[in-house]
Structure 1
């Protein structure tokens, strides 16, 4: 019986030794939020995002060209603002600019968000400005790019709300220029049903970075365009 016990004990040790160590599960955003309150985005968040994306792709000098000083940014949204109150209080000058804006194929403000559905939600929140400015839908779902190009070419529009991929495509096709652009606002703090912000969604983040590269960063550094993190 003693020998049997030793054999069983050895077998048990071998079984335990063969077990692989459990890998730590990656924390989900919902888990992080459960233990900490959401924090509003800051310029440092955008800088960190750009640094992480380009650190293996760019030289030190090229990385310096991507750096945006705090003067490029509008005041932060402290999570108490609605979209209309944010536009009225954080960048009040844009509404006055609408009166003098006469250029086709250009916008005074572009609001960038994660999806067509969210873009429509944001457009509904702009009702206080109805009649004062013309708003364009700049996303791909159910809207052909040719239709958006025609709207930009035929009439004067003031504000565009859409996804980074479609906005970038319009810039690349010379349908939308940056000549009159004064404000580019990222809908950064809003979370979808999975509690993801727009920059938590890989494909949206990639397109947002490409959009920044398509002339936005140089315009910000020249103080022609202000970045907002709503």
Structure 2
């Protein structure tokens, strides 16, 4: 009887272990979804609708979550250094229109302070390579789409510049930036970092950084959902010359999540 009970208990443990192992395998095989949840993803429009409903506090927490997700070995002190305050983030949750490439011009106009936003956005600083607005997106193709959408702000004295790596060699990008009065620059995180490091691109006259956070690709992933874009994006946002101006009164840079 004792042998039978022992055998029964052993079989029960083996069954439980097999079930646990199977569940673990399923969890491992299941792809990670967006931090905001699949229910908020409109695949047909290519939009993560949750971003538009987040206020400044939630967006700051969203960025912090993405950093912890892709850099899990960071210490608490390192995480604190990477934290972006909610005071740095402009609350755009009152924008009720879809966040697609077609509506980006209206979005910029709505959140550009002061009279005649169209004129202000259509101008560029006198110095070459000194944009007032930078739009950061995940891929070159998306950057090209946004550049076409923002052409209404381009003139002979103000370029809407494509600042991404796909089909544009770095040297060509440097030469173009150094020779152009740029009002709005649209680029991918790493290319923007490289241009800033090179000195061709300057943040001196920068007023706003627009993060293309709502857009998702065919795999339903946004700029914060992919390690290859999230890490350089946060490195860009945390550059000393930028971060020091997020909460300043003079020379303030606003962070907007489109």
TM-score in terms of structure 2 length: 0.72
Q: Structure 1's 207 and 46: CA in aligned 2 closer, same or farther, altered over 3 A?
A: farther
Q: Which residue number in structure 1 is paired with residue 80 of structure 2?
A: 63
How many residues get paired?
224
C-alpha contact (below 8 Å) 2:124/2:181 kept by paired residues = no
What whole-Å deviation, never above 9, does each CA across 1:100-132 have from its counterpart, x for those lacking one? Answer: 621112111000000001101111211332437
Structure 1 stretches of at least 4 aligned residues deviating more than 6 Å after TM superposition: none
Kindly indicate whether residue 179 of structure 2 is the aligned counterpart of residue 148 of structure 1.
Answer: no
Q: CA deviation at 1:71?
A: 5.7
- Tell which deviates more after alignment, 211-220 or 66-75: 66-75
What whole-Å deviation, never above 9, does each CA across 1:16-46 have from its counterpart, x for those lacking one? Answer: 3562512262564389324888312443344
Q: Which residue number in structure 2 is paired with residue 75 of structure 1?
A: 92
Q: Structure 1's 45 and 69: CA in aligned 2 closer, same or farther, altered over 3 A?
A: closer
Q: CA deviation at 1:99?
A: 3.5
What whole-Å deviation, never above 9, does each CA across 1:65-122 have from its counterpart, x for those lacking one? Answer: 8442436525334453510110121225564334462111211100000000110111
C-alpha contact (below 8 Å) 2:174/2:200 kept by paired residues = yes
Q: Which residue number in structure 1 is paired with residue 108 of structure 2?
A: 87
| 1:82-121 paired onto structure 2 within 5 Å | 82-91=103-112, 93=114, 95-97=118-120, 98-99=122-123, 101-121=125-145
What whole-Å deviation, never above 9, does each CA across 1:191-212 have from its counterpart, x for those lacking one? Answer: 1111111101111010011001
SS in structure 2 of the partner of residue 135 of structure 1: strand
C-alpha contact (below 8 Å) 1:105/1:153 kept by paired residues = yes
C-alpha contact (below 8 Å) 2:143/2:162 kept by paired residues = yes
Match of 2:243 among 217, 221, 229: 217
Q: Which residue number in structure 1 is paired with residue 38 of structure 2?
A: 33
**Which runs of 5 or more structure 2 residues have no equivalent in the other structure?**
43-48
C-alpha contact (below 8 Å) 2:174/2:195 kept by paired residues = yes
C-alpha contact (below 8 Å) 1:185/1:227 kept by paired residues = yes
- How far apart, in 1, do the equivalents of 2:13 and 2:224 lie? 47
SS in structure 2 of the partner of residue 110 of structure 1: strand
Kindly indicate whether residue 254 of structure 2 is the aligned counterpart of residue 226 of structure 1.
Answer: yes
TM-score in terms of structure 1 length: 0.80
Kindly indicate whether residue 61 of structure 2 is the aligned counterpart of residue 48 of structure 1.
Answer: yes
Q: Which has the larger radius of gyration?
A: 1
Q: CA RMSD in A?
A: 3.4
C-alpha contact (below 8 Å) 1:112/1:164 kept by paired residues = yes
Q: Structure 1's 72 and 29: CA in aligned 2 closer, same or farther, altered over 3 A?
A: closer
Q: Structure 1's 150 and 125: CA in aligned 2 closer, same or farther, altered over 3 A?
A: same
Q: Structure 1's 59 and 160: CA in aligned 2 closer, same or farther, altered over 3 A?
A: same
- Tell which deviates more after alignment, 11-20 or 220-229: 11-20
